[in-house]
Amino acid sequence: MDAERRLLLTGFEPWADHAANPAEVLARRLDGWRHRGWRVCGVVLPVALDAGPAVLTAARRDLRPHAVLHLGLAASRPGLTVERWAHNVADFPLPDNRGAQPRGEPLAEDGPTRLAATLPVAAAVHALAAAGVPATPSASAGQFVCNAVLYASLRWAAAARFAGPVGFVHLPSPQTLALDTQERALERLLRWLVAAQL
């Protein structure tokens, strides 16, 4: 029996006019991070509606994670935000990295209007804030690829009766909050998450 427990941590590649994406950088930096029998497996997803969820599906199949945490960039936000909901809508304000731009389309014709993150949001916000960074809950993961990936993860978790937490944290730009500071806050969040699963 495999005693090691795995946390799938995803980030996204750069997109639009963002030359770098802190979600990608931090998913790579934290790949291999270990704490109390847990290991982080960092995976970078494409910013593409037709590819991001597919890469995520393959990562879940290969890694068989015990918890899933997604990271994304919300450059206009002043701090880290923990998402409460994924919504069944794709309404892209600009094309994704493969040129797709759905407007007001459902992500799943037969899916619920929204799905709640199973990561305890208030506790996650508290863990981030305890690291001395601005952190708040958010009721909307947007209507771009971030939301699509969270919605896909939560649909999978419900169908598979996945017992572990699934959540999403949006990151501010590195110009707003230094990457090293964001990394320390995420490590605090990961330590809390691991302790909560023991």
Active site residue 83: yes
Q: Which of 83, 105, 126, 187 is catalytic?
A: 83
Active site residue 41: no
Active site residue 70: no
Quote the pLDDT of residue 55. Answer: 95
Q: How confident is the model at residue 1 (pLDDT cuts 50, 70, 90)?
A: very low
Decide if 150 contacts 134 (C-beta within 8 A).
no
User: DSSP state, 46?
Assistant: P
Domain boundaries, the chain: 5-197
Q: Is the pTM of this model over 0.95?
A: yes
Give per-residue pLDDT as tens, 5-18: 999 999 999 998 88
Q: Which of 87, 146, 183, 187 is catalytic?
A: 146
Q: What CATH superfamily is the domain 5-197?
A: Peptidase C15, pyroglutamyl peptidase I-like (3.40.630.20)
Give per-residue pLDDT as tens, 154-191: 999 999 999 999 999 999 999 999 999 999 999 999 99
Rounded mean pLDDT, 98-104: 97
Rounded mean pLDDT, 55-70: 96
Q: How confident is the model at residue 74 (pLDDT cuts 50, 70, 90)?
A: very high
Q: Is the pLDDT of residue 113 over 70?
A: yes
Q: How far is CA 168 from CA 28, 109, 149, 163, in A?
A: 16, 23, 9, 16
